[in-house]
A and B are shown apart, each in its own frame.
Chain A
Amino acid sequence: MVKNFILRKRLFIFLTFILILPLSLSSAKERKQIWEYLNPEGVIKIEPMKINPHPDTLEGKTIMLRWNGKHNGDKFLERIAELLINHVKNIKVIKSWEVAPETVDPIAGSQERSLEFAKTIAKFKPDLVIGAQSD
Chain B
Amino acid sequence: MGIPTVTISSSEFVSLAKDTSVGKGAADLSFVIVPHPLGMIPLAEIREKADRAFPLIMKAATEWKPEAKLPPIKPIYPAQKLIFEGTISEFNQYLMDKGFSIGLPVIPPTPERVKKMLKGTSRKPDELLGMVPPRMGALTVELVAIHAVMAGCKPEYMPVLIAALEALLDPKANWRGLTTTTATSSILVIVNGPIIYEVGIASRQGAAGSGHQANASIGYAINLIADIVGGSKSPSPDKSLLGGPGDFVAWVFGENQLALPKGWEPYHVDRGFKRTDSVVTVMGVYPPVDNIDHWSTSPEEHVRWWSYLASPLLSIGGPCWISQMDQPHIIAIGPEHAQLISGAGWTKEQFQKTFWEQARIPFSAWPKGCPNVDLLVKRFGPVNADTPIPMTLKYEDIHIVIAGGAGKHSHFFAPFPGCFPVTKLIRK
Is A133 within 8 A of B17, CB to CB? yes
Is B84 within 8 A of A133, CB to CB? no
Known: A36-B111, A42-B138. A58 touches B372 (CB 8 A): no
B1 contacts across to A, CB distance below 8 A? 118-119, 122
B7 contacts across to A, CB distance below 8 A? 130-131, 133
Known: A37-B81, A54-B65. A134 touches B323 (CB 8 A): no
| Complex: A41 Cα to B146 Cα, angstroms | 10
Is A39 within 8 A of B36, CB to CB? no
Is A33 within 8 A of B85, CB to CB? yes
Interface residue A9 (Cβ < 8 Å from any Cβ of B): no
Give the shortest distance, in Å, between B141 (CB) and chain A (any CB): 12
A109 contacts across to B, CB distance below 8 A? 174, 177, 323, 417-419
B87 contacts across to A, CB distance below 8 A? 30-33
Known: A36-B111, A39-B82, A44-B71. A135 touches B37 (CB 8 A): yes
Give the shortest distance, in Å, between B264 (CB) and chain A (any CB): 30
| Complex: A58 Cα to B55 Cα, angstroms | 13
Is B27 within 8 A of A38, CB to CB? no
Is B110 within 8 A of A134, CB to CB? no
Is B171 within 8 A of A111, CB to CB? yes
Give the shortest distance, in Å, between B402 (CB) and chain A (any CB): 28
Q: Scan residues 90-147 of chain B and give those whose CB is less than 8 A from a CB of chain A.
A: 90-91, 99-100, 108-111, 114, 131-132, 135-140, 142-143, 146-147
Q: Scan residues 79-119 of chain A and give those whose CB is less than 8 A from a CB of chain B.
A: 79-80, 83, 87, 97, 101-102, 104-113, 118-119
B63 contacts across to A, CB distance below 8 A? 54
A119 contacts across to B, CB distance below 8 A? 1
A32 contacts across to B, CB distance below 8 A? 85-87, 90
Interface residue A46 (Cβ < 8 Å from any Cβ of B): yes
Is A130 within 8 A of B57, CB to CB? yes
Q: Scan residues 341-381 of chain B and give those whose CB is less than 8 A from a CB of chain A.
A: 369, 371-372, 374-375
Residue among A43, A104, A129 making CB contact with B3, cutoff 8 Å? A129
Residue of B nearest to A83 (CB): B54
A38 contacts across to B, CB distance below 8 A? 79-82, 109-111, 114, 142, 146
Is B323 within 8 A of A45, CB to CB? no
| Complex: A79 Cα to B375 Cα, angstroms | 24
Is A35 within 8 A of B177, CB to CB? no
Give the shortest distance, in Å, between A94 (CB) and chain B (any CB): 12
Give the shortest distance, in Å, between B85 (CB) and chain A (any CB): 5
Interface residue B39 (Cβ < 8 Å from any Cβ of A): yes
Q: Mark B271-289, 1 if CB is under 8 A from A, else 0.
A: 0000000000000000000
A134 contacts across to B, CB distance below 8 A? 9-10, 12-14, 16-17, 38
Is A131 within 8 A of B6, CB to CB? yes
Residue among B2, B76, B100 making CB contact with A43, cutoff 8 Å? B76
| Complex: A107 Cα to B6 Cα, angstroms | 19
Interface residue A49 (Cβ < 8 Å from any Cβ of B): yes
Is A135 within 8 A of B79, CB to CB? no
A-B contacts counted at CB < 8 A amount to: 265
| Complex: A111 Cα to B81 Cα, angstroms | 34
Residue of A nearest to B89 (CB): A30
Q: Which of B41-49, B328-336, B383-391, B405-413 contacts A (4 or more CB under 8 A)?
A: B41-49
B9 contacts across to A, CB distance below 8 A? 133-134
Is A40 within 8 A of B150, CB to CB? yes
Interface residue A28 (Cβ < 8 Å from any Cβ of B): no
Give the shortest distance, in Å, between A119 (CB) and chain B (any CB): 7
B171 contacts across to A, CB distance below 8 A? 110-112
Q: Mark B3-42, 1 if CB is under 8 A from A, else 0.
A: 1111111101110110000111111111000101111110
Is B26 within 8 A of A49, CB to CB? yes
Is B29 within 8 A of A51, CB to CB? yes
Interface residue B197 (Cβ < 8 Å from any Cβ of A): no
Give the shortest distance, in Å, between B113 (CB) and chain A (any CB): 9
Is B375 within 8 A of A102, CB to CB? yes
Q: Scan residues 37-86 of chain A and give those whose CB is less than 8 A from a CB of chain B.
A: 37-49, 51-58, 69-77, 79-80, 83
B74 contacts across to A, CB distance below 8 A? 43
A40 contacts across to B, CB distance below 8 A? 79, 100, 109, 143, 146-147, 150, 224, 228-229
B90 contacts across to A, CB distance below 8 A? 32
Residue of A nearest to B139 (CB): A42
A contacts, CB < 8 Å to B: 30-49, 51-58, 69-77, 79-80, 83, 87, 97, 101-102, 104-113, 118-119, 121-122, 126-135
Beyond the given pairs A35-B85, A35-B108, 14 more chain A to chain B contacts, judged by CB atoms under 8 angstroms and listed by A's residue number, are A30-B87, A30-B88, A35-B110, A43-B138, A49-B26, A54-B62, A71-B40, A74-B371, A75-B47, A80-B50, A87-B58, A110-B418, A127-B4, A130-B8
Report the 5 A-B pairs with minimum CB-CB distance, sorted nearest first. Answer: A109-B418, A49-B25, A71-B39, A79-B50, A30-B87
21 contacts between A and B (CB under 8 A): A31-B87, A35-B84, A38-B110, A43-B75, A46-B131, A51-B4, A70-B39, A75-B46, A80-B54, A87-B54, A97-B371, A101-B375, A107-B418, A110-B171, A110-B418, A121-B3, A122-B3, A128-B61, A133-B8, A134-B9, A135-B39
